[in-house]
Homo-oligomer: A and B are copies of this chain.
């Protein structure tokens, strides 16, 4: 927790949060990964071939029926260690202010992360997957089948990111 995730950097802008919440979530399990601090996490999920585990609460185990037939899954999880009020952010990696919704940063009004993972095994309520970059013990929110027909856009471009790499 002591990675200064709640600080604010020069050039960052925060807004006042709404007074009330509008909806609520259940943690349906947790994600086990090899990474205990942010610095240990891979910069990009495709950088790592580490096998991580989605550990589902037994209450929901039957909901995994047929999941073993999927090669890839969409995983949603909760990143509650960041502030939720930033609209402009200066990521350490880029050192330049960007809008929150143009970034995949965990700091956002609703800190729900989305990762596409490759399913490598199912054992009871535990799924072994490759493609995550989150901290160990991250709360799990949802698992969905990945449909290439609607979810895969190989020629999509993030313009600001492409320009930066030049």
* Residues in chain A within 8 A of chain B (CB atoms): 13, 15-18, 21-28, 44-46, 59-72, 74, 76, 78, 80, 84, 86-88, 97-104, 108-110, 112, 114-116, 118, 131, 139, 141-161, 163
Contacts and interface: CB of A to CB of B under 8 A. Distances in A.
Contact of A148 (B17, B64, B71, B155): B155
A66 B98 contact: yes
At the interface, is chain A mostly helix, strand, loop or mixed? mixed
Given A23-B80, A62-B87, A153-B72, A28 B100 contact: no
A45 B112 contact: no
A114 B13 CA distance: 27
B66 A99 contact: yes
Contacts of A23: 24-25, 27, 78, 80, 139
B24 A109 contact: no
A159 B70 contact: yes
B148 A161 contact: no
A150 B69 CA distance: 21
**Residue in A27, A78, A150 with the greatest tally of chain B CB atoms within 10 Å:** A150
Given A28-B109, A142-B108, A102 B66 contact: yes
**Residue in A66, A70, A100, A131 with the greatest tally of chain B CB atoms within 10 Å:** A66
Contact of A100 (B44, B63, B99, B155): B63
